[in-house]
């Protein structure tokens, strides 16, 4: 939070840093806080990130200037990573002293206690705390100090969360930067197609690719960047929003410096009309040249929702500067703006394997001609777009050089190894369930096979005969929005009154929707992304009876999890698992019709409630591993059964997900 102005009304501006020079750019811009990650356990592993030594030096520099440093250890942790994560946290606590940790995995709550971490705990947007009732639980039960709210929320929904904040908890909001197509913490696309999990910072962005449906080929899932720009003034009226967060840990210093400066101008407009107008104009000019994608207000204004997918606009990162012209032997382009020595250009889109990064060596005026010399057999076709992805202006270079000089005398600390040993919970002795659960959207009582699960909805609650209610396992949606909270509390109350006793919650905080918990059987569902024994242990105190493990894990991970889990374990062994869940769909993409990826992978989109579920055209299937899982101690085996769109036939292909690959 800003120490320079009113602590209640003026939010801190939180700048991203994926490497040292971007960190220094944030300091040069006068950011109130910087967030960054380590070389491991970060949800932006594509960024260079920091060693402990680098981070210790930079944190001392930032603290000397009154700037806070928040460290993101916001990755999903595998069972064998708990000790190394604990050692990292121990080293941070003893020798770096960051102001806060940004976390998604609940094991970090336990590790913070074990290591004696004294900073704040900030719950990442990946944790998907998206409805008001959750806030009291995460504060009082888990000791969280701040919740970073999902980017999909509008201003009224943010106000609803702010009104529900208990004492000691505040909110942080993204105001600028890249948007994911999937809801925060509910995207498995990259992992399902090759083991590179977005929940572990390794997303390869399959949503940015070209897809085809019928006779149209387009980037149906590629979003523009979030840019709240002039709309952020409304956030100044919400005192519980204590930080404005700028996304971009993979961005260069140019982007970091100018986006921070822009949002400073927008935050500090002042009261004089002329000053306000000048600062607003300057901010918009800075954002227009920050080298990002075209901007969108997204859902921020509920009365004027903007779909961030526009097929007539490019959504590649960087500022479009022109397109390739000329012959194959002498390609060139005429830039829309001047090109400076040291500028970094990208030829083509990121998802095209032949794209090139090109560093400029000499000045090229606007509308001049720059010939492209590439040391590769691949030559760009005419019309290939060229983007400016980084820039080093002289003024910014001077500021960075001055800070590098200030950093030199600080570079003395050397990090000593940690001897931290993680304390794992005792393994649960309860293994007697031995049950198979088929989970449906709707229920045909004529086809019931014993133990059944059903997704709770107004329709399913009304259609299920009362006699079947007590024996069913009622599944709660993985995504709940603020305006839906009362509806869910009402639905839950009705099925409980009818005798429902078994519930699968797909976010741990959904247990807050139950005013009475006594006599109920709560299991954490697979969308809770539980992947290690300490995360399971965090759910024990919340009242859970068992957990269904994250479906992203590999064979060794599942077996190791079973060795130390303090609760009974379940697992999804077959069925239709979504690539992601989204709040949006392209106006040009037909739901319940097949689309095709460049590699021939097929899928479809279907709407459930207010959200859109994207499914691949093949099933998750590890049924043949059931014996190994039973021996390990798994006792609940789940089959997810989805209705298929008319005319769609599933492809027969292995659905092992990361069983053999292992989760990266």
HEC letters along 150-215? CCCCCHHHHHHHHHCCCCCCEEEEEEEECCCCCCCCCECHHHHCCCCCHHHCCCCCHHHCCEEECC
List, in order, residues 6 or more apart from 620 with CB less than 8 Å away: 551, 572, 574, 575, 576, 577, 640, 655, 657
Tell the residue number behind the tokens 């957990």, with chain if given: 547
Among the candidates 214, 233, 251, a domain finishes at: 251
Give yes or no: residues 55 and 165 share one domain.
yes
The answer to whether residues 326 and 240 belong to one domain is no
Contact 102, 72 (CB under 8 A): yes
> Can you give the pLDDT at residue 3?
39
**Residue 493: inside a domain:** yes
Does the pLDDT value for residue 171 go beyond 80? Answer: yes
Among residues 38, 42, 33, which one has the least CA distance to residue 15?
Answer: 33
- In percent, the amount of the chain with pLDDT more than 70 equals 95
Query: Around 369, how many Cα atoms within 13 Å sit in the side-chain half-sphere?
Result: 6
Do 128 and 30 sit in the same domain of this protein? yes
Of 510 and 275, the structure prediction assigns the larger pLDDT to: 510
Same domain, 382 and 439: no
58-79: buried (b, 16+ CB within 10 Å) or exposed (e) per residue?
Answer: bbbbbeeeebbbbbbbbbbbbb
Rg (Cα) of the chain, in Å, rounded?
25
Looking at residue 378, its pLDDT comes to: 66
| pLDDT for res 292 | 80
- 447 and 380 housed in the same domain: no
Same domain, 381 and 446: no
Indicate whether 404 belongs to any domain.
no
Cα distances (angstroms) measured from residue 543 to each of 397, 471, 510, 512, 517: 55, 20, 11, 11, 8
Are 166 and 91 members of one domain? yes
Domain-located, residue 77: yes
**Tokens of residue 152, six digits:** 């999909």
pLDDT digits (tens, 9 = 90+) for 280-316: 999 998 998 888 888 999 999 999 999 999 998 878 7
The per-residue DSSP string of 600-631 comes to S-EEEEEEETTEEEEEESS-EE-GGGHHHHHH
Residue 458 pLDDT greater than 90, yes or no: yes
Strand, helix or coil for residue 344: strand
* 470-479 average pLDDT score: 96
- What domain count does the chain have? 3
Query: What's the chain's average pLDDT?
Result: 92
* Mean of pLDDT values over 629-645: 94
Is position 306 within any domain?
A: no
| Residues of the domain holding 344 | 319-390
Q: What pLDDT, in 10s, does the model give residues 341-371?
A: 888 998 888 777 778 888 898 999 999 999 8
Q: Is residue 237 located within the same domain as residue 351?
A: no
Q: Does a structural domain hold residue 496?
A: yes
The pLDDT score that the predictor gives to residue 4 is 39
- Of 371, 608, 378, the C-alpha closest to 506 is 608
Per residue in 497-540, pLDDT tens?
Answer: 999 999 999 999 999 999 999 999 999 999 999 999 999 999 99
Q: Is residue 421 part of a domain?
A: no
Give me the CATH number covering residue 485.
Answer: 3.20.20.60
The reply to whether 482 falls in a domain is: yes
Q: Looking at the structure, tell me whether residues 18 and 142 fall in a common domain.
A: yes
For the beta carbon of residue 300, count every other beta carbon within 10 angstroms: 25
Q: What is the CATH number of the domain that holds 359?
A: 2.40.30
- The sign of the CA dihedral 82, 84, 89, 93 is positive
Residue 340 exposed, middle or buried by CB count within 10 Å (0-12, 13-18, 19+): middle
Same domain? For 485 and 344 the reply is no
Kindly state whether residue 217 falls inside one of the protein's structural domains: no
Kindly report, residue by residue over 540-555, the tens digit of the pLDDT: 999 999 999 999 999 9
How far apart CA 648 and CA 641 sit, in angstroms, is 15
379 and 480 share a domain? no
377 with 446, same domain: the answer is: no
pLDDT in tens, 604-632: 999 999 999 999 999 999 999 999 999 99
């Amino acid at each position: 939070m800003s120490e320079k102005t009113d602590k209640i009304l003026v939010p801190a501006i939180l700048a991203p840093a994926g490497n040292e020079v971007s960190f220094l750019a944030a300091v040069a811009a006068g950011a109130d806080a910087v967030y960054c990650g380590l070389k491991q356990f970060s949800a932006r592993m594509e960024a260079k990130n920091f060693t402990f030594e680098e981070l210790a030096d930079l944190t001392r520099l930032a603290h000397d200037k009154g700037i806070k440093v928040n460290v993101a250890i916001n990755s999903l942790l595998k069972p064998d990573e708990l000790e190394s994560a604990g050692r990292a946290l121990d080293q941070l606590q003893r020798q770096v002293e960051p102001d806060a940790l940004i976390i998604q995995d609940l094991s970090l709550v336990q590790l913070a206690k074990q290591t004696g971490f004294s900073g704040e705990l900030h719950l990442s947007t990946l944790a998907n705390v998206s409805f008001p009732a959750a806030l009291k639980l995460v504060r009082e039960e888990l000791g969280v100090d701040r919740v970073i709210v999902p980017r999909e929320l509008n201003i009224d929904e943010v106000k609803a969360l702010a009104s529900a904040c208990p004492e000691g908890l505040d909110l942080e909001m993204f105001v600028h930067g890249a948007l994911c197509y999937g809801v925060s913490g509910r995207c498995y696309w990259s992992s399902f197609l090759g083991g590179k999990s977005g929940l572990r910072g390794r997303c390869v962005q399959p949503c940015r690719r070209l897809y085809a449906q019928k006779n149209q080929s387009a980037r149906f899932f590629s979003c523009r960047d979030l840019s709240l720009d002039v709309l952020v003034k409304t956030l100044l009226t919400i005192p519980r929003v204590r930080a404005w967060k700028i996304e971009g840990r993979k961005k260069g210093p140019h982007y970091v410096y100018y986006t921070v400066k822009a949002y400073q101008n927008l935050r500090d407009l002042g009261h004089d009309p002329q000053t306000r107008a000048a600062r607003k104009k300057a901010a918009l000019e800075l954002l227009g040249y920050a080298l990002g994608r075209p901007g969108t207000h997204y859902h921020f204004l509920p009365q004027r929702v903007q779909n961030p997918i526009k097929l007539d606009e490019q959504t590649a990162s960087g500022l479009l500067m022109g397109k390739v012209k000329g012959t194959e032997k002498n390609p060139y382009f005429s830039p829309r703006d001047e090109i400076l020595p040291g500028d970094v250009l990208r030829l083509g889109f990121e998802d095209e394997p032949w794209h090139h990064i090109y560093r400029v060596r000499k000045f090229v005026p606007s509308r001049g001609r720059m010939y492209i010399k590439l040391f590769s057999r691949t030559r760009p076709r005419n019309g290939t777009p060229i983007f400016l992805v980084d820039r080093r202006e002289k003024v910014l270079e001077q500021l960075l050089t001055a800070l590098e000089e200030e950093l030199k005398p600080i570079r003395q600390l050397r990090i000593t190894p940690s001897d931290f040993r993680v304390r794992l919970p005792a393994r649960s002795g309860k293994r007697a369930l031995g049950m198979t659960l088929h989970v449906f959207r709707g229920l045909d009582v004529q086809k019931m096979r014993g133990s059944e699960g059903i997704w709770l909805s107004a329709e399913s609650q009304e259609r299920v005969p009362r006699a079947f209610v007590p024996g069913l396992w009622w599944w709660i949606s993985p995504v709940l929005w603020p305006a839906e909270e009362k509806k869910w509390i009402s639905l839950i109350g009705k099925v409980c009154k009818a005798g429902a006793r078994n519930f699968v919650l797909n976010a741990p905080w959904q247990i807050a929707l139950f005013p009475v918990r006594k006599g109920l059987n709560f299991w954490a569902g697979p969308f809770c992304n539980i992947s290690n024994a300490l995360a399971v242990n965090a759910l024990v105190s919340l009242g859970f009876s068992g957990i269904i493990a994250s479906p992203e894990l590999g064979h060794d991970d599942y077996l190791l999890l079973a060795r130390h889990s303090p609760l009974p374990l379940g697992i999804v062994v077959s069925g239709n698992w979504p690539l992601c869940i989204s709040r949006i769909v392209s106006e040009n993409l037909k739901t319940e019709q097949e689309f095709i990826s460049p590699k021939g992978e097929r899928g479809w989109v279907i709407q459930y409630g207010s959200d859109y579920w994207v499914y691949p055209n093949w099933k998750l299937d590890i049924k043949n591993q059931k014996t190994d899982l039973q021996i390990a101690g798994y006792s609940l085996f789940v089959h997810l059964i989805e209705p298929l769109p008319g005319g769609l036939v599933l492809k027969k292909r292995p659905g092992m997900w990361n069983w053999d690959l292992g989760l990266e």
